[in-house]
Amino acid sequence: MRPSDLPQVRSLELFESMSDSNFELLMQAAYLQTFPAQLELIAEGDPADFLYIVIEGCVELFARSNGGETTMGMVRPVGTFILAAVLKDAVYLMSARTCKRSRVLMVPSEDVRQLFQRDEAFARAIVVELASCYRTVVKEHKDLKLRTAVERLANRLLRYNLDQGDTGSLELPHGKRTLASLLGMTPENLSRAFNTLKPYGVVVRGNKISLNDLEALANLAKPNPLIDDRTT
Amino acid sequence: MRPSDLPQVRSLELFESMSDSNFELLMQAAYLQTFPAQLELIAEGDPADFLYIVIEGCVELFARSNGGETTMGMVRPVGTFILAAVLKDAVYLMSARTCKRSRVLMVPSEDVRQLFQRDEAFARAIVVELASCYRTVVKEHKDLKLRTAVERLANRLLRYNLDQGDTGSLELPHGKRTLASLLGMTPENLSRAFNTLKPYGVVVRGNKISLNDLEALANLAKPNPLIDDRTT
DNA sequence: CGACGATTTGAATAGGATCAATGGGAGTGG
DNA sequence: CCACTCCCATTGATCCTATTCAAATCGTCG
């Protein structure tokens, strides 16, 4: 465990209010590992042995059923995943793989649960974190059920644009293949959706996107804070 | 607040481990009301003023965007809804309406949050409840992204069958209109999906369904515990 | 330069949605 | 008790969206 990573982890809302001694206890039990790209860290159905924290790189959460596979979310530094499974001492509902070479902190779930029992502040922080996770999935579910593929893409572009400083030009944070799966469509359909958005000022060059008519795009997308806001 | 309802509420996992005095405090601040059918209790976007607990009847959670509307879930006695919004002191992400005449307990969210700060056992119970809610939505999201409409219906029927004693005959717990919306399809499409399932032994008479070839149906549905199980 | 993977494009198909019309109870009022 | 009405569900026809399969193109990396 490299000491220089601790402040980052410590500053996570999840660990912020925890006592120093308890935090150190947790970190001493944890493993920091570096994984190559495209390595499957966990598979859905496995018992939740660890809580994962992405320190560096990027991790894709995905799910399989029958032949299919779909991306459920992306975790970037510094973020945790599969907290709920750890707390319930249940099996993972999602699989996870690295998108690129990544450093990941693995905290044995037994330790997380013990500390959850002993550290009141930690328990409360977990509530806040879980509530946020829950609301995020609800928003994604609404997005999928209430919008067409083109609308989902348009809103996603608007969101990336805001995340990246509202300059009207943005960079896709993941490959188009992944983006398509995240938005619940095929890569071919994503490509066509981009074409559909061309009249609305959306220009694509690789993973760089220019939004040249934000008004028109927003008019089509009809962004809804109760779906698109990641803050509330 | 009718005293005869208290044991039910008390026995909710959420309140079970709470001290008697704190539970009474919470209940004294609460309102028990009876609402007629089809009454909108809350609208998404409203500040979360109350935590709701369904004592009797049935409540539909739904969401709107643009012209559309979709059912997000059904809450039956005794169950709570919109806990996450209350804890985060945020706006509701979902609207709620009664399906039929219902008795609903409304706990001021300020009281819930205060008790959450003061009562450690309550805070822990909330974690478990939230983790369950989270996993439920994740499963629904997987269901929607990884399965066709017919598969979703088939699996839903198998689930209802198990819920109702695995007798091979079941009753739809909600109207077909609602079921369709819950499954993410139109009523017309649901009707056609039932027809598609006829060769698999699915016989529909009103809201009574017979599953006469469970093996064939399961073979088509390919149920997956990581999607369909409500217990884990 | 060549090879590979990712993206795009095209054509055909399938899955769902929409619109319109019909059928079928449940409840109401005569 | 029956006729009427209304709402829900079903059916049919059509349209639109999205998937699939196939092929071409682009870009990157060795």
Tell me the chain B residues in contact with residue A80 when contact means C-beta distances shorter than 8 Å: none
**pLDDT for the residue A66:** 87
Listed by number, the residues of chain B in 79-118 with a beta carbon closer than 8 Å to a beta carbon of chain A are 83-85, 87-88, 90-91, 93-94, 116-117
Domain ranges across chain A: 3-144, 147-228
Rounded to an integer, what distance in angstroms lies between the CA atom of residue A179 and that of residue A156? 10
Q: What is the pTM of this model?
A: 0.95
Residues B147-228, CATH architecture = Orthogonal Bundle (1.10)
For B136-224, strand residue ranges (E) read 169-171, 202-205, 208-211
| The pLDDT of residue A6 is above 80 | no
Determine, for residues B144 and A142 on separate chains, whether the beta-carbon distance falls below 8 Å: no
Q: What is the DSSP letter of B47?
A: B
| Tens digit of each residue's pLDDT (9 = 90 or more) over B182-195 | 999 999 999 999 99
Chain-centre distance for alpha carbon A129 = 13
Protein CA at A178 to nucleotide C1' at C5, angstroms: 14
Q: What is the pLDDT confidence band of residue A2, given thresholds at 50, 70 and 90?
A: low
Is residue B63 within 8 angstroms of chain A, CB to CB?
Answer: yes
**CB-CB contact of B217 with B228 (8 Å):** no
User: What nucleotide is nearest A187 when CA is compared to C1'?
Assistant: C7
Residues of B in contact with A66 (CB under 8 A): 146, 222
Q: What class is the B3-144 domain?
A: mainly beta
Residue of A nearest to B117 (CA): A124
The protein footprint on chain C, as nucleotides within 7 A of a CB, is 6-11, 15-20, 25-26
Residue B70 to residue A146, Cβ atoms within 8 A = yes
B94-140: per-residue pLDDT in tens? 999 999 999 999 999 999 999 999 999 999 999 999 999 999 999 99
- pLDDT, mean over chain B: 95
Q: Contact A95/A42 with Cβ under 8 angstroms?
A: yes
Question: Tokens standing for B45?
Answer: 């976007």
Residue A101 DSSP one-character state: S
- For residues A117-146, give the mean pLDDT: 96
pLDDT of residue A106: 97
Residue type, A183: L
Residue B4 has pLDDT above 70, yes or no: no
- Angle, CA A175 vertex, CA A172 and CA A179 arms, to 5°: 80
For residue B171, the model assigns a pLDDT of 96
Verify cis geometry, omega within 30 degrees of 0, for the bond prior to A9: no
Mean pLDDT for A200-226 is 97
* pLDDT, average across residues A68-94: 97
Q: Is the peptide bond before A78 cis (omega within 30 degrees of 0)?
A: yes
Q: Measure the CA–CA gap between B139 and A169, rounded to whole angstroms.
A: 35
- Nearest residue to nucleotide C15 when comparing alpha carbons to its C1'? B148
Measured distance CA(B22)–CA(A41) in Å, rounded: 43
Share the mean pLDDT of chain A.
95
Name the nearest CA neighbour of A184 among A226, A224, A156, A221. Answer: A156
Query: Among A82-91, B31-40, B145-154, which stretch is predicted with the lowest mean pLDDT?
Result: B31-40
Query: Region B57-67: what's the mean pLDDT?
Result: 94
Confidence band for B66, pLDDT divided at 50, 70 and 90:
confident
Question: What is d(CA B139, CA B83) in angstroms, rounded to the nearest whole number?
Answer: 19
Section B144-166 average pLDDT: 97
pLDDT of residue B136: 97
pLDDT above 70 for B214: yes
In chain A, which residue's Cα lies nearest the Cα of B116?
A124
